[in-house]
Amino acid sequence: MFTRRGMRVLGLLAGVAAAGLCAVAWSQQAQTFLYGTAPEASEFHFTRLAYQSRNGAGFGRRGRWLTDWPEAEQHLLGGVDRLTRIDAGEQGVAVSLTDEELFDYPWLYAVEVGYWYLDENEAARLRDYLLRGGFLMVDDFHGSREWASFMDSMQRVFPDRPVVEIEVTDPVMHVLYDLNERVQVPGLGAVMSGVTYERDGNVPHWRGIYDDRGRLMVAMNFNMDLGDAWEHADTPWYPEQYTALAYRFAINYILYSMTH
């Protein structure tokens, strides 16, 4: 016969065991996601950049590069399928900058880049990828401190190219949708706090790096969280207006990357 204390201990052990099983299942799923190939032959795949983090895991002990996975890509890919004629894959894929498959994908998404770290070899690979026609979208980083951390690695990629504000008249803002308004797209946590910003990132910025022909290579959604807007597309208390706007920006970026 178990005492009340014994029952509590058994309950704790059962909880630990369940958490362990969930961690193992998640780890196996993440390994497949990271090292697997594209699940089907489509003309577009949501491609995440797997990178080293300066301070380890993010939310839920995942790597920060996996923030909002897999709901963000699942919802966004559904929107791409509904709103365009692009033959998009139903699942996302991931690559690191040292993977041979990197150059198979014209569009690359990196999240929480305020915590990324690129060494010299990775920076050279990303530079080569971008100069050969690749497109990088970075998202979900906020405030002066995260900007400085992001730029520490980005300057290893392009030490001689300026970061500039993307003008409203830029072609990327008018590929499919005319994006003339500059509305800050917040994360869910900010929305629940009654604001649209995090840290000292009060003002949203759309910044970029261009090649010698004027092609946008890197689109920086600074002081915004488009990934959360995709992830929470079906969350009742996340405002639909932000999800709709985040879809439009992503689709413009995707179409631009496939046509420029």
User: What pLDDT, on the 0 to 100 scale, is given for residue 7?
Assistant: 33
User: What pLDDT, on the 0 to 100 scale, is given for residue 56?
Assistant: 56
Look at residue 165 and tell me whether its pLDDT is greater than 60. Answer: yes
* Architecture field, domain 43-259: 3-Layer(aba) Sandwich (3.40)
Look at residue 97 and tell me whether its pLDDT is greater than 60. Answer: yes
Kindly give, in sequence order, each residue whose CB lies less than 8 Å from that of residue 122, ignoring residues fewer than 6 positions away: 51, 96, 97, 98
Domain boundaries, the chain: 43-259
Q: What is the arithmetic mean of pLDDT over 102-128?
A: 97
Q: Render pLDDT for 26-63 as a digit per residue (tens, 0 to 9).
A: 334 444 444 344 456 789 999 999 999 977 554 445 68
User: What pLDDT, on the 0 to 100 scale, is given for residue 28?
Assistant: 41
Q: In terms of C-beta density within 10 A (0-12 exposed, 13-18 middle, 19 or more buried), how is residue 78 classed?
A: middle
Measure the CA–CA gap between 58 and 146, rounded to whole angstroms: 14
Predicted TM-score (pTM) of the model is: 0.85
Q: What is the arithmetic mean of pLDDT over 203-211?
A: 98
Which residue would you say has higher pLDDT here, 217 or 91?
217
Measure the CA–CA gap between 116 and 35, rounded to whole angstroms: 20
User: What pLDDT, on the 0 to 100 scale, is given for residue 90?
Assistant: 85
